Structure 1
Amino acid sequence: MLKNQVAIITGSARGIGKEIALMYYKQGAKIVVNYPGDFEKEAAESVVETIRSEGGEAMAVCADVTNFKEAEELIKTTVSTYGKIDILVNNAGITKDMLLTRMTEAEFDAVINVNLKGVFNCTKFAVKAMLKTGGKIINISSIVGLSGNVGQCNYSASKAGIIGFTKTIAKEYGSRNIRVNAIAPGFIQTDMTKVLKESVKEEMNKQIPLKRLGNPEEIAKVATFLASDLASYVTGEVIRVDGGMAM
């Protein structure tokens, strides 16, 4: 479904971003695996090697999405290598959970900078590259951006901001054939949830009608739909992938 398209997935050395990168390549896309620093380099190169070993095209690009210039270079490097950009998935994200009265300014700023400012930075330069050709932008939000969550005022604010940002950019650039959508995952089995106690996971499952955590592949499937022509008349949408948790 994505044959010969060029896709950047931020924060794709592991977790949901990695799964999206692998699924996109299987659908024919050329993949840019983005990672923020040397601590992720080996993991990012492993994703690239997996894709290349199976006959796909991919490269790893180090860029801290919170840095305006590095975000610009990420897009420039992609265009100079592959000639264009068709798909941007703004997936990079972090958490620094704490109750409001105990949360530091640094913890709040760090989450907003990665999760929200990073989306602005990458989207700004990607849109410029897409103006003549059109494109698809998929922003990874969260159900806590819709419902809030105790101990996550920074994370919830960043993910709610992504939703407003998504709708605005969809309105601004729909006439240029640029579709912008968001995915709001629920509790997904990633490195973030692996460290949780089984008792905590059991309590999570009680809140989910499907009675289980999701997996990264289930997010990647929706991201593939939104990047493909199957979603050619879908823009400004927020799709919850949460097992029914936020109904």
Structure 2
Amino acid sequence: MSIDLTGKNALVTGGTRGIGRAVAHTLARAGASVTACYRSDEEAAAVLARELKEIGGDHTVVRADVSSPEDVAQLMEHCHARGGLDVVVNNAGVIGDQTLEELTLDEWHRVVTNDLTAVYLVVRGALGLLTEGASVVTIGSAAALRGLPGRSHYTAAKSGLIGFSRTLAKELGPKGIRVNVVAPGVIDTDEPPGQPSEQQRRLGSLIALRRLGRPDEVADVVLFLASDLARYVTGETVTVDGGF
């Protein structure tokens, strides 16, 4: 069964690399008009713009730091000019590795601001642009469900996305807007896929499917949640980790 998003406008934050890039490709191939935003990597942005042009359709790649209220306001003006939003995919984020003993307040704020507050800014900014039946999908992390040493700030922010999304599902449900989280496990974002490292082989041995995930496998779940096939799915966290 193919999913057709022709006539739908989609926003993908952090859309130029890894999972975000795969989501942008997948939504575009399904017929959506995609706006992808990025913070600083001009080369990756130019590559994505070329790739989306090759797929075909009306797509844009724009610079926006979604942790900045001013940048988000400009991003929403851009999306308004393109006819509103039917799909919002919150993918932009950062990661950090520090134990609590090492964790500084600045590092805590950096991760929480980029991984949690930025999603609040984007969704709140998009409220007036979301059409009836729109879908908001946020990329969380399976680590939020089990914890991960050295990443208390990261898992706290990703856990916060679950509560945030469940509450928004109840607030926005009467308007027909669905809000869900996709929680990936260990995803190999190398393009093209290379020879697995020793660490990747070790992690793969802990996964039921005995391999790491690929960005397109996360993107396919996002596509489902963005489509009418998931029209009665909201407030959910879908784990995509191969049975870790």
What TM-score does the superposition give when structure 1 sets the normalisation length?
A: 0.92
Once residues 204 and 150 of structure 1 are traced to their aligned partners in structure 2, the CA distance between those partners, rounded to angstroms, is 15
Amino acid at match of 2:101: T
> Residue 19 of structure 1 aligns with which residue?
22
1:180-219 alpha-carbon deviations (Å, 9 max, x no partner) = 000000000025xx99x82322221222111110000000
Query: What pairs up with 1:34-73 in 2 under 5 angstroms?
Result: 34-37=37-40, 40-73=41-74
Query: What pairs up with 1:204-215 in 2 under 5 angstroms?
Result: 204-215=203-214
Q: Alpha-carbon deviation of 1:54?
A: 3.2
Query: What pairs up with 1:1-247 in 2 under 5 angstroms?
Result: 1-37=4-40, 40-80=41-81, 82-130=82-130, 133-190=132-189, 198-245=197-244
Amino acid at match of 1:227: A
Is there any run of 5+ residues in structure 2 with no aligned partner, and where? none
Once residues 41 and 78 of structure 1 are traced to their aligned partners in structure 2, the CA distance between those partners, rounded to angstroms, is 20
Amino acid at match of 1:25: A
Amino acid at match of 1:146: L
1:4-49 alpha-carbon deviations (Å, 9 max, x no partner) = 1110000011100000000100000001010012xx1221122122
Once residues 4 and 51 of structure 1 are traced to their aligned partners in structure 2, the CA distance between those partners, rounded to angstroms, is 16
Structure 1 residue ranges (4+ consecutive) displaced by more than 6 angstroms after TM superposition: none
Once residues 42 and 138 of structure 2 are traced to their aligned partners in structure 1, the CA distance between those partners, rounded to angstroms, is 23
Q: Alpha-carbon deviation of 1:128?
A: 2.1
Amino acid at match of 2:146: S
Once residues 76 and 214 of structure 1 are traced to their aligned partners in structure 2, the CA distance between those partners, rounded to angstroms, is 35
Counting aligned pairs with the same residue, the percent is 38
Q: Alpha-carbon deviation of 1:58?
A: 0.8
Once residues 181 and 13 of structure 2 are traced to their aligned partners in structure 1, the CA distance between those partners, rounded to angstroms, is 14
Amino acid at match of 1:168: T
Count, aligned residues:
239
Once residues 54 and 100 of structure 1 are traced to their aligned partners in structure 2, the CA distance between those partners, rounded to angstroms, is 45
Amino acid at match of 2:66: V
Q: Secondary structure at the match of 1:120?
A: helix
Amino acid at match of 1:78: C
Amino acid at match of 2:147: G
Contact map agreement 2:187 2:212 (CA 8 A) in 1: yes
Once residues 213 and 64 of structure 2 are traced to their aligned partners in structure 1, the CA distance between those partners, rounded to angstroms, is 28
Contact map agreement 2:88 2:135 (CA 8 A) in 1: yes
Q: Secondary structure at the match of 1:133?
A: strand
Amino acid at match of 1:122: V
Q: Alpha-carbon deviation of 1:168?
A: 0.5
What TM-score does the superposition give when structure 2 sets the normalisation length?
A: 0.93
Is there any run of 5+ residues in structure 1 with no aligned partner, and where? none
Contact map agreement 2:16 2:44 (CA 8 A) in 1: yes
Amino acid at match of 1:184: A
Q: Secondary structure at the match of 1:34?
A: strand
Contact map agreement 2:29 2:55 (CA 8 A) in 1: no
Q: Alpha-carbon deviation of 1:55?
A: 2.2
What value does the CA root-mean-square deviation take over the aligned residues? Answer: 1.7
